[in-house]
Amino acid sequence: MSQSTEQPSERPAGRAVPTSADVARLAGVSRATVSYVLNNTSAVRISEPTRRRVREAAEELGYVPHAAARSLRAGHSRMVLLPTPHVQVGPLYSQFFNEFQWALRRLDYTVVQYGSVGLEAEEAARAWAELRPVAVVALGESRLTGQGVEILKRSGARAVITLGTERVEGAHALVMDQGRVGEAATAHLVETGRRRIGVVVPEEPGLAMFSGPRLEGARRAVAGTGATVVPLPLRYEEESANALAARWRALGLDGVFAYNDEYAMLLMRALQDADVAVPAETAVVGADDLLLGRLLRPRLSTVRIDMVIGRELAELVDRAVREPEAPPRTSDLMASRVVRRESS
């Protein structure tokens, strides 16, 4: 790349990106004045005619300030970084995320999702730190370590918050207690008299962070009740479900928590095709309370998950940013409750 010193002859489009200096020149004022006008700084008084001239010049040139230069000078930004998950997320999650983003913007933050596919934990943290975000809200799935938190804080992040199943040293944590989902579903099955309870564990990679805790929760629910839990690996494919259904009677199960409504629908169809009566012979419970589950016959029982609303989380971020010295707190991100329909 050759540098052009004065006359930018290499611009292909024939025009350089306008800066505040260009605006100043066109308006016949100093650059400082341009800055004052465009940020309408209250501490300095600029006459109305000058203000207008500056605004018109900016408009004419199509001037847009340079965010990087601005935050470099300011020494900080109001950028909140959300490492993008590379896992499939359900509609519940994506709605929550949208709400969260919207709320942060209301609080005058700039939300940036930034993917870091294929990087190791510490390396990813370093990549995020380069952007000098004021806060980082990371999914548990992004495998942020205590080391990573340290890197981020050292690079100026005033708040690091994890959304996940477990805490990370030094970071605020919003715990999604996935265990409660499995626990609620299984407790319900036990209460309605089921004794041998299957728990579907999806084989799809990336779901482990959800399925593991849900299985653990199920185990907690049966502890001391005499009922037992049987893990059931399952791929989200018809053949896999049919194979499972074929050996259903051999397994001797009278109830199943199917991970979520989609897996439940898949399994329920396979069971019915194999002449296993639902709920008479085997009760089925899903999770997420999808509309589609209500359309089945029998209607699918489910665990309804209510997530913290985005606005609440946004306010938590804002508080954490304003009080970086406050000790990391842990709180619940979601609540679960069983919705009983006909399949259990």
Partner DNA sequence: ACGCGTCACTGACACGTGTCACCCTCTCGC
Partner DNA sequence: GCGAGAGGGTGACACGTGTCAGTGACGCGT
Q: Which residue ranges make up the site for DNA (CB under 7 A)?
A: 3, 16-17, 19-21, 28-33, 35-36, 38-39, 41, 43-47, 49-50, 63, 65-66, 69-70, 72-75
Is 239 a binding residue for a copy of itself by CB under 8 A? The answer is no
3-state secondary structure at position 47:
coil
- Looking at 50-58, 83-91, 162-170, 194-202, which segment touches a copy of itself (CB under 8 A)? 83-91
* Residue number with CB closer to DNA (39 or 331): 39
Residue 245 backbone dihedrals phi, psi, to 5 degrees: -65, -35
List binders of a copy of itself among 156-175 (CB under 8 A): 156
Q: Which residues pair with 25 in a beta bridge?
A: none
Best CA proximity match to 313, nearest among 168, 149, 98, 152 = 98
What b/e readout covers 123-155, taking b as 16+ CB neighbours within 10 angstroms? ebbbebbeebbbbbbbbbbbbbbeebbebbbee
Could you tell which of a copy of itself, DNA, none binds residue 31, using a CB distance below 5 to 8 A set by kind? DNA
Q: Which of 30, 60, 102, 306 binds a copy of itself (CB under 8 A)?
A: 102
* Residue number with CB closer to a copy of itself (223 or 326): 326
The whole-angstrom separation of Cα 45 and Cα 37 is 9
CA angle (104 as vertex; 98, 108 as ends), nearest 5? 140
What b/e readout covers 276-290, taking b as 16+ CB neighbours within 10 angstroms? bebbeebbbbbbbbb
Is 117 a binding residue for a copy of itself by CB under 8 A? The answer is yes
Least distance between DNA and beta carbon 31 (Å): 6
* In contact, 40 and 50? CB cutoff 8 Å: no
Could you tell which of a copy of itself, DNA, none binds residue 29, using a CB distance below 5 to 8 A set by kind? DNA
Is 23 a binding residue for a copy of itself by CB under 8 A? The answer is no
The whole-angstrom separation of Cα 145 and Cα 92 is 26
Q: Are strands 228-234 and 255-257 parallel, antiparallel or unpaired?
A: unpaired
Q: Which residues contact 301 (CB under 8 A, 6 or more apart)?
A: 188, 283, 284, 285, 286, 338, 339, 340, 341, 342, 343, 344
Is 129 a binding residue for a copy of itself by CB under 8 A? The answer is yes
- Looking at 96-104, 176-184, 251-259, 279-287, which segment touches a copy of itself (CB under 8 A)? 96-104
* In contact, 267 and 258? CB cutoff 8 Å: yes
* Residue number with CB closer to DNA (33 or 178): 33
- Looking at 130-138, 172-180, 221-229, 250-258, which segment touches a copy of itself (CB under 8 A)? 130-138
Least distance between DNA and beta carbon 231 (Å): 49
The whole-angstrom separation of Cα 87 and Cα 234 is 18
Least distance between DNA and beta carbon 49 (Å): 7
**What type of residue is 309?**
I
* Residue number with CB closer to DNA (151 or 338): 151
Binding residues (CB under 8 A) for a copy of itself: these are 1, 3-4, 8-9, 12-13, 15, 17-18, 62, 64-69, 71-72, 75-77, 84, 86, 88-89, 91, 94-95, 98, 101-102, 105, 108, 110-115, 117-118, 126, 129-132, 150-151, 153-156, 236-238, 262, 265-266, 269, 291-292, 294-295, 322, 324-325
